[in-house]
Structure 1
Amino acid sequence: MADSGPKSRIILQQCLSARLQTQPKTVNSEAKFVEIGPGLIVYVCFLKGATEDILDKIVKSITTAKLSEIEEDGKRVSVLDQPGDILIIPQATLGGVLKGKVMQYHRNIDKETGLKLYSKFVELCGSFVMDNSKSKECDKTVKFGTYGNRQVFNCVTNGPYSHVLEI
């Protein structure tokens, strides 16, 4: 019998700006970062049983959900409807389950499959945003973190405005 539970867990967070370290400083090179201005941060974790079949649904859900408020009238719009960037951050800890006093990550997908899904997800998200942005005059970007690495992260928000999706 197939597990009917979620195959991914995603947190969406509005931001005024965000900066993510994608490569730490080494003896031979400076640290590398990606940055966005106003937009949407997408934390994503793939769970056991996840396949490429869910990626289109995730991309459409995160880009078309009407979460962002337009200041003039209070109307909510999607990230596609406004100027704004997307920052995708791999977040394996979203798959954790508290057992007693210890977090366990037995529900997470294996690292190799997770990397493949994450890479494909980033690619699909970038293509979808470029093809469907309603603010064509804006230079909308999709930036992303490095799968499998710890990453230093800074974010400025205009309120704790987070949403959890399980797909």
Structure 2
Amino acid sequence: MRALIQRVSSAEVRVADTCIGAIGPGLVILVCAMAGDSDSTVAPLAAKIAKLKIFSDEAGKMNRSVLDTGGAVLVVSQFTLAADIRSGNRPGFSHAAAPADGKRLYEAFVHALSDLSVPVETGEFGADMAVHLINDGPVTIWMDTAKPA
């Protein structure tokens, strides 16, 4: 799975001009299931993100996680994280999981975060969404569960 994590002051996601998820301080997680991902990929990624120390402590050092701060997460499915632009100018998405697998793994990821006591809001899988956020820092982290070649 691939995830792009952004530390935010606030964020919301809208579908058809209706807010379907909103958070205050916390994380926006754009997530994409890749072809070959399995259920065994989900829980470790959720735990790693929930424990990721990217929030400042009293000394201004990044020593606190979203769990430590009591923050929330907004999880948005984003298959375009699978874009392959090595050939030509049009991105290819053949490395993304099939839609049914992508949805199942996305929902499993959301549940895994909830099981860790992280408050979770979500977008709508497969919908055309507008994500509004105030990036805090900015702090943006890229994660990919695939083993490097």
Normalising by structure 2, what TM-score?
Answer: 0.90
Figure out how many residues of one structure are paired with residues of the other and give that number: 143
Corresponding residue for residue 149 of structure 1: 127
Corresponding residue for residue 5 of structure 2: 12
* Structure 2 unpaired stretches of 5+: none
The alignment status of 1:102 with 2:90, answered yes or no, reads yes
How far is 1:13 from its partner? 0.3
> What secondary structure does 1:10 align onto?
strand
How far is 1:41 from its partner? 0.9
Normalising by structure 1, what TM-score?
Answer: 0.81
The separation in 2 between residues aligned to 1:159 and 1:147, in whole angstroms, is: 28
The separation in 2 between residues aligned to 1:59 and 1:153, in whole angstroms, is: 21
By percentage of residues, which structure has more strand?
2
Map 1:107-122 → 2, pairs under 5 A: 107-122=95-110
The amino acid across from 1:87 in the alignment is L
How far is 1:82 from its partner? 0.7
Corresponding residue for residue 46 of structure 1: 33
The amino acid across from 2:60 in the alignment is G
How far is 1:127 from its partner? 1.2
> What secondary structure does 1:155 align onto?
strand
The separation in 2 between residues aligned to 1:74 and 1:160, in whole angstroms, is: 14
Larger Rg: 1
Q: Which runs of 4+ in 1 moved over 4 A?
A: none
Asked if the contact 2:12/2:19 (under 8 Å) is kept, the reply is no
* Structure 1 unpaired stretches of 5+: 1-7, 26-30, 131-139
Map 1:28-107 → 2, pairs under 5 A: 31-70=18-57, 72-75=58-61, 76-98=63-85, 99-107=87-95
Corresponding residue for residue 161 of structure 1: 139
Corresponding residue for residue 127 of structure 1: 115
Over the matched positions of the two proteins, sequence identity in percent amounts to 26
CA RMSD between the two structures: 1.3
The alignment status of 1:24 with 2:10, answered yes or no, reads no
